[in-house]
Structure 1
Amino acid sequence: MEKISEDLKKKILVYQKYELTEYLIYNKIANKIKDEKNKYVLKSIAEDEKKHYEFWKKYTEKDVKPNYFMVYFYYFISRLFGLIFGIKLMEKGEEQAQLTYEDIVDKIPEAISIIKDEDKHENELINLIHEDKLNYVGSIVLGLNDALVELTGTLAGLTFALRNTNIIAISGLITGIAASFSMAASEFLSKRSDGDEDALKSSFYTGIAYILTVFFLILPYLLLKNYFLALSITLFIAVLIILIFNFYISVAKDMSFKKRFLEMFFISMGVSAFSFFVGYLVRIIFGIDI
């Protein structure tokens, strides 16, 4: 085996640590999966990562310690947000690793096999798991998007028209709960008319997404007395929800984050601005003073 420089050895030690860390991540996640097929695939990938670790060890002749923080971080993410999201998020790191591997192919030609293995991992992971939360993304988007657009608009209009956080909160809550049931029922009837056997589950995801969004958007009005401050925080929360949700979807479903985020952002904020203006007109025309 050709002698390698100390600088190259230091770089390889980083890769070695990376591979060992991923081995432990895949293994830890696999141990908590009940589906035997998914468990087998993850265990196989874990063994590949271990082989990569042994491959680099031949050149460094050293053992390394894994990054235990990353092991528990990705394990926690996978348990909390779903296996596919956790693995896809980790794949982003794998893509960077492939680029760095290519930097040393000239010195260690055998490293090309590592790159091919990484490509194989990605193809295996794409069709790895069946998860309800991803199968019903359309229903979740429907509930989330409608709640953001309708309720931010409603709260913006009520804020200028009523100028009382308690009344705004109660009005928004009644509107939001009624709309969530209406939206869930519409989703159920729509799916049922299309012959979808999971129409009830789709409507459930739509309703839950709507109600949770309503709760977070109304919360500032329940906690604060200053209605303009409450509206500002509500709009911030709306943007935060849009940001987090679209990041999740962009990772789990390999979609464009920027396009989806900007689309939902401008629709929600545009409706809010228009509704705020409508509330102003209603207050002046009807002489509301609360």
Structure 2
Amino acid sequence: MKLLGFCAAEYRDYLVYKLLAEREKEDRVRRVLEKLAGDELAHYRFWSRLAGNCKPRTSKLWLWSILIVRRLLGLTFTLKLLERGELNTIKAYREVLDQLPPEDRSVLEKIIRDEEEHERKIIGSIDERLVSYLGFIALGLSDAIVELMGVYTGFLGATSKAVIAGVAGLIVGVSAAVSMASAAYVQAKHEIGKSPKFSALITGLTYIAAVAALSTPYLLQLPVVVA
């Protein structure tokens, strides 16, 4: 069962990197993605040979969700998100390493090296503007969550109607987004290499996106407990 899981995971990663490469316009970045896809395809073939009957299926919805993340948060953020599971993967591979014959063991050792080097060498070579603004993204998300939770708690204590709490959250959230964007603008003016306008824009948009996500259950008039 472990081998089938390894096989399916590597094939899924291959499809993701292949899909990202096909939609990448910059030649240098496309070559990086093609290198990642090639590595994952080789890894899949290795596990497929050992598993003997590996016919993985990957959800198209999952693949499209990755494309949406790439569009909203950038390629580097998406790749780092995908590579977060690599430590567990490497640990699992090491657990089966001694169970393989010498010729397969040497191949798996190379696969482990590939996985270890993906983020450190390949992903690190992609320089995106958005990555340097992750602090502002985190600021927008965290502040929106804290602010909106306070609003919802207060309104739900006074009314049992979820839609009222949702509308209140939107009103407070939009005004707070403007305030946070202004604060980000001022902060970026004192940081080298940061665009105040872009910092304000990314903070405000992140804040509004978080507000929209948190308000949706209330605006759909779902039960208060569910929302």
What is the TM-score of this pair, normalised by structure 2? Answer: 0.70
What is the 5 A alignment of 1:1-290? 22-52=13-43, 66-69=55-58, 72=60, 75-82=63-70, 83-85=78-80, 87-88=82-83, 91=86, 94-95=89-90, 98-105=93-100, 107-126=101-120, 127-161=124-158, 168-224=165-221, 230=224, 232-234=225-227
Query: How far 1:168 sits from its partner (Å)?
Result: 4.7
Query: How far 1:49 sits from its partner (Å)?
Result: 4.5
Structure 1: where are the runs of 5+ without partners? Answer: 1-9, 235-290
**1:101 and 1:115 in contact (8 A); partners too:** no
Supply the distance in 2 between the matched residues of 1:77 and 1:173 (Cα, whole angstroms): 25
Query: How far 1:20 sits from its partner (Å)?
Result: 5.8
Q: Which amino acid aligns with 2:58?
A: F
Supply the distance in 2 between the matched residues of 1:224 and 1:58 (Cα, whole angstroms): 51
Structure with more relative contact order (C-alpha pairs < 8 Å, separation 6 or more)? 1
Using a 3 Å threshold, how does the CA distance of structure 1 residues 128 and 91 change in structure 2: closer, same or farther? farther
Structure 2: where are the runs of 5+ without partners? Answer: 71-77
**2:7 and 2:54 in contact (8 A); partners too:** no
Query: How far 1:118 sits from its partner (Å)?
Result: 2.7
Using a 3 Å threshold, how does the CA distance of structure 1 residues 192 and 58 change in structure 2: closer, same or farther? closer
Supply the distance in 2 between the matched residues of 1:14 and 1:157 (Cα, whole angstroms): 46
DSSP-derived class of the 1:104 partner: coil
**1:147 and 1:214 in contact (8 A); partners too:** yes
Query: How far 1:17 sits from its partner (Å)?
Result: 6.8
Aligned residue pair count:
217
Using a 3 Å threshold, how does the CA distance of structure 1 residues 18 and 171 change in structure 2: closer, same or farther? closer
Q: Which amino acid aligns with 1:69?
A: T
Q: Report which stretch shifted further, 14-23 or 91-100.
A: 14-23
DSSP-derived class of the 2:194 partner: coil
Supply the distance in 2 between the matched residues of 1:49 and 1:165 (Cα, whole angstroms): 46
Identity %: 27
Using a 3 Å threshold, how does the CA distance of structure 1 residues 39 and 114 change in structure 2: closer, same or farther? farther
What is the TM-score of this pair, normalised by structure 1? Answer: 0.57
**2:48 and 2:54 in contact (8 A); partners too:** no
Q: Provide Cα deviations, 1:42-96, integer angstroms capped at 9, x if missing partner.
A: 3334444455566678889x7x6642426x5664343122341463156367425
